[in-house]
Amino acid sequence: MSVTIKSPKEIELMRESCRLLSIVHEELGKIIRPGISTWEIDKRGEEIIRSFGCVPNFLHYEGYPASICVSVNEEVVHGIPSKKRILKEGDIVSLDAGLIYKGYHSDAARTYGVGIVSPLAQKLMDVTKQSFFEGIQYARAGHHLHEISVAIQKYCESYGFGVVRDMVGHGIGTHLHEDPQIPNYKPIGRGIKLRPGMTLAVEPMITAGGYEIAWLDDDWTVVTADGSLAAHYENTILITDGDPEILTLPASRNA
């Protein structure tokens, strides 16, 4: 395993990449409504990314055909946008996006309710988001990576939700996916010791039912095997000598 430690200059480039991505998510959140197609969301996301002079890092990544992963209801991740897929009242939709700024990647995901959603859907979204913050309490120099994993799993399972095993978070930097892998459940071992300068994409993927998943025939879209709802929340973070810095959240929310 080769985990990169970013230099001060690299950290500044990562900060800017992630700051721009936070704007993308804020703008996309404003257009989520019943009647919009997932294709329109993707189109708007790519427009914003390119308006910054950046490149959407998901587009054509290992063949993925869009700039924004748009996953609806039982879709966990990697949903492919379509003009035919129209959001409706009560849906939940996860947007996973990233961009490249001067050679440095950012990655973040958010799950939104479309109009008024069920109490179960709202609880799933809330718990998934909070589990990220429960996990990064341990994202500190000197702690072990899997302490993050354990905290996420413990929090989500305390609500009876499923923690996806087959999809994990990852390191990030000059490549979208770098070492280490970051499970959202307790694997064997403690994981690597965290060091200042590591940049990590921590991304709980949580279901309202079991943790088993399946792939659709498009070879991209991952769904819950039992058809239950799924939610996704992700930020790129920086390990420091103190609290982690959440690079893909606006500074006002990163206190």
* Residue 242 CB contacts under 8 Å (≥ 6 apart), including other chains: 140
Query: Which helix H or strand E contains 149, and what residues bound it?
Result: helix 145-157
Q: What is the pLDDT of residue 251?
A: 66
Query: Which pLDDT does position 252 carry in this prediction?
Result: 45
Report the length, in residues, of the chain. 255
d(CA 95, CA 130): 17
Which residues contact residue 39 at a Cβ distance below 8 angstroms, ignoring those fewer than 6 apart? 81, 82, 83, 85
- Cα atoms in the Cβ-side hemisphere of radius 13 Å centred on 240: 11
What's CA 240's distance to the chain center, in Å? 21
- Dump pLDDT digits (tens) for 48-105: 999 999 999 999 999 999 999 999 999 999 999 999 999 999 999 999 999 999 999 9
The 3-state DSSP class for residue 28 equals helix
Q: Rounded distance, CA 251 to CA 118, Å? A: 31
Q: Is residue 202 predicted with pLDDT exceeding 50?
A: yes
Among 116, 99, 118, smallest CA distance to 108 is for 99
User: For residues 11 and 219, what is the distance between their CA atoms, to the nearest angstrom?
Assistant: 34
- Supply φ then ψ for residue 134, to 5 degrees: -65, -40
Q: Say if CB 169 and CB 234 are below 8 A apart.
A: yes
Residue among 98, 25, 88, 27 nearest 66 (CA) = 98
Please check whether residue 38 is in contact with residue 52, taking contact to mean a CB–CB distance below 8 angstroms.
no
For 89-137, the pLDDT digits (tens) are 999 999 999 999 999 999 999 999 999 999 999 999 999 999 999 999 9
Residue 98 is encoded by which pair of tokens?
Answer: 């990233």
| Cα 204 → chain centroid | 7
Do 196 and 239 touch, CB atoms closer than 8 A? Answer: yes
What confidence tier does 2 reach under pLDDT thresholds 50, 70, 90? confident
SS3 at position 29: helix
Q: How confident is the model at residue 255 (pLDDT cuts 50, 70, 90)?
A: very low
pLDDT one-digit tens code per residue, 11-42: 999 999 999 999 999 999 999 999 999 999 99
